[in-house]
Structure 1
Amino acid sequence: MLEFPRWKYAIILLVVFLSALYALPNIYPQDPSVQVTASRGVEVDEALRTRVGEVLQTAGVAPKSVDLDEDAGNLLVRLHDLDEQTQASEALRTGLGENYTVALNLAPTVPDWLTRFGAKPMLLGLDLQGGVHFVMQVDQQAALERRLDAYAEEARAILRDNRIRYESVERRADGSILAVLDPAADVSRANSLLAADQPVLIRNVSGQRIAMRVPDSELQQISADAIDQNITTLRNRIDEIGVAEPVIQRQGNNRVVVQLPGVQDTAEAKRMIGATATLAYHSVVEGDAFEAQRTGIVPPGARLYTDRRTGGPVLLNRRVIATGEEMVTAQSTYDENGLPAVSVTLNAAAGSRMFDFTSANVGRPMGVVYIERIPQVRMVNGEEERTFRVSEEVISVANVNAVFGRNFITTGLDKAEADDLARLLRSGSLAAPMDFVEERIVGPSLGRENVERGVTAVGFAFIFTLIFFMLYYRMFGLITTAALLINLVIVTAVMSIFGATMTLPGFAGLALSIGLSVDANVLINERIREELRNGVPPKAAIAIGYDKASTSIFDANVTGILAGVALYAFGTGPLRGFAMTLVVGIIASMFTALTVTRGIATLMYARRKKLKSLAI
């Protein structure tokens, strides 16, 4: 009657082995480290390694190792403790100068033989591992001005495409758009065309003037959409960086909170998530650019730019053919000459415009403008004032050799710029600029204390359970304790495999799942004891106890799983961490309580022919 198939033993052994293998990386601590990355035009090589060693020696810091990764373009200094990390960071920032970015980091120490199996440690949240906390303010006025500029440009295109002569179409200081038509132009037709294409705008016709205004409801919607798009873009950019379980949420009407676990230095994170680099493609205007630069007289419809490579002036048409905002995807690559490039794919509308332009301009030049918004900080009256400088440089002027549409490559960048620009274009552009109004670093020492407290809490819960079960259920208490230990290993392994993030609420979920596992084992043990009291033979009591308890355990745990799924689906941040560990823990506890403990009990008692009593 007391039977257990061999294939189930094989499954138990396989699950325990794989769980132990993939949970093992979590016993290897991370090394406090300092990462050195080169700025534009500076190389990371053996000379830098030697220089870093000299700087650290002068500062009295003896690192564990200094690892050079030329492919990634960085140098990693591993240190013994957090105090040395801080000391090394300050020494390297002073000793290396502005040509290098020095960032705090945490380097893994998992052996290579484990990483070859894809084993990696569990990710830790901001409250456990440390990281950075940003509060960013969205410049909603800039979003409104950008949309008004787009409305004005669209109005010019409508009038131009329909051959309606106009003197000017400009955005005024009060936020309205004024179109001044030629005295001979058909005002009624122009107004009808603008109304059909831009129905949201409120128009007022006076003589040869058409004034267009954006209604207040639309202005509010533009502001709200700007924040929503910025949150989406930030999430995409942080995914490109590779930060696990970031927290990105709206705060108030114009602020966004960003928390990045594991990131110990704000410089790299700020550079990536706050960047607004993009591309714009323009046709080249015929004319003497040097004369326009000298006299300041620029042809109508043109704008003067500077060529990055030569430093000379370039005249480009103000009308944009396509921009980075219209790109579907972008990849860093190399051109036929082996130089860094960005391969881009435009959306359908921009691809159609590019096809029309190249079809009509084969053999003529097209310019590519690299637009970057660079943050600046200066002291005014003893207070820090944050501003931004917009840099627009022509990175490429080349003849259109063949007709193309959605897919092409852009050159004129170095490798680091190409990589960064590809990531920014893939993640999308910000609808409005954002300023960092608050930034905090949550140190790993605080996280380490939280980890120790969480592990201590789970450990004490396990020890108290062990003592209770051993005293109350004796041999079956030992079986239950073994199952709880396997349960912990399985949960750790699953969360490590799927890249889930452990937070303090996650520790709470883990402790709760242990409690549910205890409940399941209590049900089983009490059922067995009840059958023994009813005079059922020991072996039959074990089998009947498991069979009768299984239904109750399954029903109770399914409701717990459903609650955890609901928390994960509709919750954010800490709630999702709690729900993740709870669901994984419940599933693991069902497996260990119903399968593992039954297998152990069967192995211990099934072959004993004259079994008269159980130690329960």
Structure 2
Amino acid sequence: MHFSLFRRVLIVAICLVGLVFALPNVFYDRVERHNDAVKSIEAGLPVTPEMTADRALWPDWMPATLVNLGLDLRGGAHLLGEVRVDDVYAARMDAIWPEVRDALRDVRSEVGTVRRQETEGDTLRVRISKPEAIQTAVAAVRKLAQPVTSLTGVGETDLEVTARNGEIIVALSEAERAATDDRTLQQSLEIIRRRVDEVGTREPTIQRQGADRILIQVPGIGSAEELKAIIGTTAQLTFHPVVGRTQDPEANPGGRNLLLPSLDEQGVYYILESTPVVTGEELTDAQPAFDQNGRPAVNFRFNPTGARKFGDYTAANIGSPFAIVLDNEVISAPVIQSHIPGGSGIITGSFSVEESTHLAVLLRAGALPAKIDFLEERTIGPELGQDSIDAGAMASLVAFVLVLVFMALSYGLFGIFANIALMLNIGLIFGLLSVIGATLTLPGIAGIVLTIGMAVDANVLIFERIREELKTARGPSRAIELGYERALSAILDANITTFITAVILFAMGSGPVRGFAVTLGIGIITSVFTAIYVTRLLVVLWFERRRPKTIEV
């Protein structure tokens, strides 16, 4: 029955901290508006009176983490998209053409002139003027092939190079296609996740389905069209050499060049080389800023590969214009004044503060590697979600009341102690869910209801053990002590096996199954803590105050 002061303070402190973190969920709408205002201010958006009012709804010094409500509780948008992986193959061939051209240039005396042929699909066709040297050309191009690295290790090369009718045919190998498919899906998943999270939504479900499909579920979005607009925003940044400029929108750029309009100069069109020197995929960071004239701009920085390309090109083309292209519009085409070795720069244009902030967000997220076709879309209204919340709340309340009545009638004062621990248990569950940022779904509510019923199991074992010890022990103090000690192993065995089940469900399941596993696992931890430590502390405090000669359980 001895409880050290440190242990008592620790138990009380854990309970208080858990309740403090659970408290924001009681004022859910108010705290959510406060958090949205804080996010907007931290993102650098202009502070409006509405933001100031929303921020004042909740004290900044109080925890403001909430249990995120899932799609079935809050409403939102559901999309099933199919990634066009074939587009990535064609882009890969277009990107490798400069390397093929340079490789053949080294053996130009043998193969003659080199010309790329127009082709449809995912192959690169190159014709040389000396067909008799076709094998020499094939050998030179094959040196560009690299081993394919995948989860199973290093396999065959990534390129298949063949000769046919005096032309060199370059295509991706089957192993590289499979690896590219996997990289494309993973990159799409990550970019969609960053893009949706940056916009301020809560805990989206973004999962791969099959070989080329992605499931996207985002709570709190008004419609599927709104979600498609967020995901479909490209923000693809490229840097191109400038061939010329014109005011004729119908001008023929010639060859494989591009004709793109200027964003700032009305009626001006730039003729650019189609193959970019550097792309936005090689960006590592982008932040809103202001230029030397105080106008909104975006600072950017390349990774080492992009910085090297950028530096080499600027060193070799001083005095030439260099176009910065965003989503097929030329933002600016400055003349290269000097070598830029650091791999960083600034994008200026007719931006507002909001536009520069949004552009920086999209550039950080990156452009989708391939277009996504949406095969299935639907919107779940908040009314349906509210009905689910009401039904879950009613089920939880009924279970809670029945358990309280049963424990009070069965075990008297000790049952009341168990009921107090059960109330603290619910608060601790929501506190932990808030801290880890978990998403609560209907199956999650089912896990909480199940936890309410299971939470008193440990107390039932303890109290029944105390009853048995009262028949043989010398006094109530010893009976209580032995009851807790001898019931401990059975409690741990029962809860550990259930916890292992919750872990397996979380590891192997997805979506709603994981939601159930999270609340069940957390409920097991908190119920064991409250049953063993909280109820024991309450019993010890009562016993020290009353010093009863006999007790009834």
Please give the TM-score of this superposition, normalised by the length of structure 1.
Answer: 0.78
Which letter maps to 2:17? Answer: L
Q: Does 1:192 align with 2:110?
A: no
TM-aligned CA deviation for residue 185 of structure 1: 9.1
After superposition, residues 239-318 of structure 1 pair within 5 angstroms as 239-285=197-243, 287=244, 289-290=245-246, 293=248, 296=251, 298=253, 302-311=257-266, 312-318=268-274
Aligned residues: 531
The 3 A distance-change label for structure 1 pair 328 and 29 is closer
Per-residue displacement from partner, 1:140-185 (whole Å, max 9, x unpaired)? 3323322332344442343346656534213523643221113499
Higher helix share: 2
- Residue 148 of structure 2 is matched in structure 1 by none
Q: Which sits farther off after the overlay, 577-586 or 140-149?
A: 140-149
The AA in structure 1 aligned to 2:246 is F
For residues 298 and 443 of structure 1, the distance between their equivalents in structure 2, rounded to whole angstroms, comes to 49
The alpha-carbon deviation at position 582 of structure 1 amounts to 1.7
Whether the 8 Å contact between 2:242 and 2:271 is mirrored in structure 1 is yes
Distance of aligned partners of 1:507 and 1:540 in 2 relative to their CA distance in 1, 3 Å threshold: same
Structure 1 letter corresponding to 2:222: Q
- Once the two structures are TM-superposed, the CA of residue 74 in structure 1 deviates from its matched residue by 9.8
Residues of 1 paired with 2:468 and 2:187: CA distance? 62
Taking a change above 3 Å as real, the CA distance of residues 412 and 176 of structure 1, as seen in their structure-2 partners, is same
How does 1:83-162 map onto structure 2 within 5 Å? 112-160=57-105
1:341 aligns with 2:297: yes
Shift of 1:217: 5.6
Structure 2 counterparts to residues 53-452 of structure 1, below 5 A: 72=45, 112-160=57-105, 163=108, 165-173=112-120, 175-183=122-130, 186-198=133-145, 199-206=157-164, 208-215=166-173, 218-219=176-177, 222-285=180-243, 287=244, 289-290=245-246, 293=248, 296=251, 298=253, 302-311=257-266, 312-371=268-327, 392-405=328-341, 406-412=343-349, 414=351, 415-452=353-390
Distance in 2, Cα, partners of 1:393 & 1:502: 43
Q: Tell me: CA distance 1:576–1:208, structure 2 relative to 1, closer, same or farther (3 Å).
A: same
Q: Per the alignment, do residues 317 and 309 of structure 1 end up closer, same or farther by CA in structure 2, a change over 3 Å counting? A: same
CA distance, structure 2, for counterparts of residue 356 and residue 416 of structure 1: 33
Report Cα offsets for 1:265-304 as digits up to 9, x if no partner. Answer: 344432221222211111223x5x338x489454666433
What is the match of residue 551 of structure 2? 614
- RMSD between superposed Cα atoms in Å: 3.3
Structure number with higher strand proportion: 1
Q: Which has the higher mean CA deviation after the structures are superposed, 253-262 or 200-209?
A: 200-209
Q: What secondary structure, in the 3-state scheme, does the structure 1 residue paired with 2:277 have?
A: strand
Letter of the 1:316 partner, please give it.
L
Tell me how far 1:235 sits from its aligned partner.
2.0
1:17 aligns with 2:16: yes
The 3 A distance-change label for structure 1 pair 265 and 313 is same
1:383 matched residue in structure 2? none
Deviation of 1:253 (Å): 4.4
Rounded Cα–Cα distance in structure 2 between residues aligned with 1:587 and 1:566: 16
Counterpart of 2:331 in structure 1: which amino acid?
I
Give, in whole Å, the separation in 2 of the partners of 1:70 and 1:145. Answer: 37
Contact 2:158 2:175 in 1 (8 A): no
SS of equivalent to 2:273: strand
Q: Is this contact kept in 2: 1:119–1:497, CA < 8 A?
A: no
In the superposition, relative to structure 1, how do residues 486 and 111 fare at CA in structure 2: closer, same or farther (>3 Å)? farther
What residue identity is the alignment partner of 2:338? A
Contact 1:539 / 1:606 at 8 angstroms: preserved in 2? no
Q: Residue 190 of structure 2 aligns to which amino acid in structure 1?
A: T
Deviation readout 1:223-252 (Å, 9 max, x if unpaired): 454334322322222232233332122344
Unaligned ranges ≥5, structure 2: 34-39, 146-156
Question: What displacement does 1:615 show?
Answer: 2.7
2:115 is matched by which residue type in structure 1? S
How far 1:442 moved relative to its partner?
Answer: 0.9
CA distance in 2, matches of 1:294, 1:427: 32
Deviations 1:572-597 (A, max 9, x none): 21122112212221221122111111
